[in-house]
Structure 1
Amino acid sequence: MKKTLLKHISLALLLTASLSACDVDRIPETQLSDPAFWKTERDLQGAANFLYTYLPGLPNTDDNWSDDTYARAPNGISDGTRIAPATDGTYNNSYQLIRAANNIIEKAPLALNTGVAPATVDRYIAEARFFRAWGYYTLFQRYGGVPLILSVLKENSPELFAPASTREEVIQSIYKDLDFAVEKLPTPTQLGTANYGRISKTAALALKSRAALFEGTRSKFHGYGDYKAHLSISLAASKAIIDSKEHDLFASYYNLFQLAGEGRQNRENILVKQYGVSTSEIVLTHAAARNLENGAASPTRNLVDSYLMTDGLPIEKSPLYKKPTVSTEVFSNRDERLSSTIMRSGDSYIGTNPIFSVSVLAFQLTGFLSKKYFNTDDWTLQRSNIDGVVIRYAEVLLNYAEASYELNESISDADLELTINKLRTRGKIAKLTNAFASANGLSIRNEIRRERHVELAVEGFRYWDLIRWKTAEVELVKPIIGNFFFKSEFGTATAVKLTADNYILVQEATFRRFDPAKDYLWPIPINELALNPNLKQNPNW
């Protein structure tokens, strides 16, 4: 399926290369003439394939917005220095995706006139509605209420000058699209190996679970709306995936992000962005290894210290923890996901330096190097075909656990066993129970959040979690601190600032700020406000 889907995506890119960058994004009538195009299933599939190009690519550097990773320069979102931009690629790209999805939703029924089965037409409309929901969720996270455009617009359409819809209107539109997709899409089993990579019923459920958890917890901690309604939706969607038995955890956490974790045999993957067929048959590639080695997203001490000891206790409580004297001791008696996420001495590294010893501080400013998607052969080739994970089953388990807890302010040991403890077992650490938490003075809420923190590390979740929990104002104003400075290993060639207790100080707290009166929403691009006088800027921007 990878070869077929990628080739069709390549064709779709050629067909749609002349898409306008404006918000209307009209497809020229001479390019895809309705009578000539919307006739066969192949036509519908070709149009739908273009939507897959909007899935996020690699490497994922979104955690640079948070306290978990740092690049080679300050990040304006993370440290609060950004200003409202004239344009925003995310805003424009999301509406381009929405426009392309609307076009399929409106035009696909034309294929009924040439004998294409209604179920087939509905399937591709369902894919389009999934991607429309994806586009609106991307906007919703950032800007809150945005204009809802649910049809293909013309230059004189009144919707071009419509005000933003409310948060509730946008999230309900997302739910409605995903409900249609859940009803009409095939299961992963029905897709099989031949159609691996296409949107499935469980992918639609997973996105619904994600979106509803975001709005449910955001409304709970920010104090608006009916948070229980959204959390109930997230819980039900997550449970439907669990009960489907379509997915399970992959045995190796490390291999989830390597070629060994690709394809239908890895039932943890719910949705991936597929890359090139092979190094000899290139369609689409990424350069995650090169970018990570050059410091695109270097993990921080905040992330590393979040990993538990093997006894299930945090480092500040566990008798197993000893302050490291050499870099390898950072990983001693720890959750195995740490050594699968962060490069350690002895790991395979790069062509010019085959065995990793310690981070190069001129590039990896924190003294830590992310290991997900890092592959030595790919570094040498300067391109990689490893698929990018977009949604995986582990997230669904975490969504279920958190939604359950936040609905009830408690969670049963049975539900912890169903969710959190499956992840802990893979990490080879002690299980979490209510009795264990009570005996050790642990907060169940914090432990559920910790589990999410480490399981989904460097995958782009941390910033949005801080936003919805309303803890960004606490966490993002702290200094960015890196690894312990092991002088015998790091040497003295690179001058670095250190804390009083000898950790690498990457960015001081005096250079970080977060304004809760404005920074929980992103600024609407200024050009969009000029184009639509009824569109209002988010508060205090």
Structure 2
Amino acid sequence: MKARSIFKSAFVSALVATGVGCSDFLDTSLDQNATGETIETTLSTLWNFGNAFYTPVGYGFTMLDGNLFAAATDEAQQTLVQSDATYFNKGVINANLNPLSNLYTNYYEGIRAANHFLDYTAGGKGEYMVGMNRDTISDRPSYERDLASLRWYRAEAHVARAYYYAELIKMYGGVPIVETQYAAGKFYPRAKYDEVVEYIVSQIDGCKDELAVDWSSFNDRNGRFTLGAALAIKARVLLYAASPLHNPDNDPKRWERAAAAAYEIISHPELSYSLANDYGAYFQGNNSLASTETIYAVRREQSSNMETKNYPIATQGGASGVTPTQNLVDAYELIGAADPADPYANRDPRLAASIVTNGSRWNGRTIDQSAGGSDDMSKPNASRTGYYLKKFLTDDLDLTHGAKAQHNWVAYRYAEVLLNYAEAMNEAYGPDAYGPAGYSLSAREALQLVRDRASAGLPEVTATDPAEFRKAVKHERRIELAFEDHRYWDLLRWKDAMEVLNKPVRGVKVTKTGENAWSYEVADVAGRTFLERNYYMPFTRSEVVNSHHTLEQNPGY
């Protein structure tokens, strides 16, 4: 692994705190002109280092091709003919070609920054810096606040390490565990996947009592890890560790542990998460920041990037971008009878909240993708699937006059926790059991909470067999978490990718049949290839070579 001094790393990105003003940003930049003397004696440097380990936190809106990762799955097709998504779609990523390889470097940089902060403040040095050059008696309130901040920041550094390792093992399986700031001249072998899982759990369990429950009294800290965020990281990691890819013998103890981790969030006396009332509105603007559903959100400045990349090409300034597939549209359930004249009517309302369909209103017009229509699919760079992205986007944003909107990436939310719990409980105990610990929620009840929020009219899940109930959980994750960077990793951990990601993605051809009436012909849009080796990503060849092959490559690369 390459060693880079964090003093020479340009931490230039920022996490957004509440609001949109520059003063509301969590500043994660470092003073590039800091000298050894100022580093030792400036209290502000202490806080800079306490912010720096947030810089590489993933912002899902720019994960692949500067857009959502959904185009690497059966959720969406990238409109651009030449795109990084193509490498995933064709199964050709390798040690020399992996569009996500930068994340490996970024996440280890985050780990090094966390390690540095923990080393920098160890042995009472942090407390000394908080107290130096101030009257700790007359300035008692501010002094005590800074001491509390130091304790929180140190706990958050442990959570940061857990977060980055969670993202790394999701991609690579086992990775090196590094607990020092510098790695110059030293090469670390890969730890086993299960060893990294236990390390992640230890980082969170060892600090959870020191974490802030929320930042309601410290609005300038919004964007930092909290107790809920830490527990959500652990719950997801343990769910992945219990899944078939990592639990081929289906050890029930792993599922029990995953269920317990999710239930810790659900039942924690200091946490009070609940589902937002309106699914579609939740993802708009700053709504997620004030919602009791949000556990951890990554914030950036207002921009029009998501709209510019994903608005229909017929909208001035739009580029079509990540377009949903018929594969996903077909998965939205009917509520009541099908409408022969409108295949999108009487469907799970999450369809209308997430996807722009033909005949719907969007950007101030009725979408018409038929020949000669406003969104004619034959136009260059028009959607090849017959659909456009709606989730996350602000309707009718004026791109020609520089209008901007807020886009907060919700990395962890309560609906996912409920679905994690439903899955783990079903695998450990079945759909309707409460487990030997007598939990207050069954798998079915947790699943139903998510479905009821979407619509009280959704068909009841009646499966009593765990295998059949598993299908219902998989379906619900596909719909509820669409475009939120779960689908690819879910397919991998379930060992479903070989089946699902080797099927073509489909779309519709739209034909006008009358005034506000169309017919639809389903057709294949693009092929997909997924190889057995793709269940794990390759380390870059340079990482393997620079480590003198201490870093062992994943099989097949």
Alignment-derived partner of residue 8 in structure 2: none
Instruction: Kindly state the Cα deviation for residue 379 of structure 1 after the two structures are TM-superposed.
Output: 4.1
Alignment-derived partner of residue 238 in structure 2: 212
Change (3 A) 1:371 1:86: closer
Distance 1:10 1:196 in 2: 8
Instruction: Kindly state the Cα deviation for residue 163 of structure 1 after the two structures are TM-superposed.
Output: 1.2
Alignment-derived partner of residue 396 in structure 1: 417
Which residue among 400, 408, 423 is the counterpart of 2:429? 408
Alignment-derived partner of residue 40 in structure 2: 35
2:298 is aligned with 1:273 = yes
Change (3 A) 1:383 1:181: farther
Alignment-derived partner of residue 65 in structure 1: 72
Which residue among 370, 375, 387 is the counterpart of 1:368? 387
* 1:188-235 Cα shifts (integer Å, max 9, x gaps): 276565644332101111111111111111456x616x7444433322
- How many residues are paired up? 485
2:479 is aligned with 1:454 = yes
Distance 1:242 1:379 in 2: 41
**Could you tell me whether the CA contact under 8 Å between 1:295 and 1:365 is conserved in 2?**
no
Instruction: Kindly state the Cα deviation for residue 481 of structure 1 after the two structures are TM-superposed.
Output: 0.4
Change (3 A) 1:36 1:363: farther
2:128 is aligned with 1:113 = yes
**Could you tell me whether the CA contact under 8 Å between 1:145 and 1:167 is conserved in 2?**
yes
Which residue among 307, 316, 333 is the counterpart of 1:289? 307
Change (3 A) 1:419 1:443: same
Matched letter for residue 144 of structure 1? G
Where do residues 15-26 of structure 1 align in structure 2 (5 Å cutoff)? 15=30
Instruction: Kindly state the Cα deviation for residue 75 of structure 1 after the two structures are TM-superposed.
Output: 2.0
Unaligned ranges ≥5, structure 1: 19-27, 277-283, 312-319, 491-497
2:333 is aligned with 1:308 = yes
Which residue among 333, 353, 359 is the counterpart of 1:340? 353
Alignment-derived partner of residue 424 in structure 1: 451
Alignment-derived partner of residue 338 in structure 2: 321
Worse-superposed segment, 474-483 or 251-260:
251-260
Which residue among 180, 184, 205 is the counterpart of 1:155? 184
Secondary structure (helix, strand or coil) at the match of 1:481 reads strand
Instruction: Kindly state the Cα deviation for residue 401 of structure 1 after the two structures are TM-superposed.
Output: 0.3
2:511 is aligned with 1:487 = yes
Distance 2:324 2:224 in 1: 32
Alignment-derived partner of residue 377 in structure 1: 397
Secondary structure (helix, strand or coil) at the match of 1:289 reads helix
Distance 1:260 1:8 in 2: 14
Instruction: Kindly state the Cα deviation for residue 532 of structure 1 after the two structures are TM-superposed.
Output: 0.3
Distance 2:255 2:21 in 1: 35
Instruction: Kindly state the Cα deviation for residue 506 of structure 1 after the two structures are TM-superposed.
Output: 0.9
* 1:477-496 Cα shifts (integer Å, max 9, x gaps): 1011013x221189xxxxxx
Change (3 A) 1:90 1:437: same
* 1:161-182 Cα shifts (integer Å, max 9, x gaps): 1211111111111111122342
TM-score by length of 2: 0.79
Unaligned ranges ≥5, structure 2: 1-16, 132-142, 312-318, 370-374, 435-440
Matched letter for residue 236 of structure 1? A
Distance 1:180 1:5 in 2: 35
Please identify which structure carries the higher helix content.
1
Change (3 A) 1:528 1:120: same
Instruction: Kindly state the Cα deviation for residue 128 of structure 1 after the two structures are TM-superposed.
Output: 1.5
Change (3 A) 1:152 1:309: same
Change (3 A) 1:195 1:163: closer
Secondary structure (helix, strand or coil) at the match of 2:228 reads helix
Instruction: Kindly state the Cα deviation for residue 9 of structure 1 after the two structures are TM-superposed.
Output: 4.7
Matched letter for residue 153 of structure 1? Y
Alignment-derived partner of residue 89 in structure 2: 78
* 1:4-44 Cα shifts (integer Å, max 9, x gaps): 9964757432x26x6xxxxxxxxx9737953123x3xx554
Distance 2:22 2:299 in 1: 7
Change (3 A) 1:430 1:539: same
Instruction: Kindly state the Cα deviation for residue 301 of structure 1 after the two structures are TM-superposed.
Output: 1.3
Which residue among 55, 58, 83 is the counterpart of 1:56? 58
**Could you tell me whether the CA contact under 8 Å between 2:166 and 2:233 is conserved in 1?**
no
* 1:391-446 Cα shifts (integer Å, max 9, x gaps): 11110110110111122344449524542111211221446766x2369x992110
Alignment-derived partner of residue 324 in structure 2: 299
Distance 2:405 2:513 in 1: 30
**Could you tell me whether the CA contact under 8 Å between 1:397 and 1:420 is conserved in 2?**
yes
TM-score by length of 1: 0.81
Alignment-derived partner of residue 129 in structure 1: 158
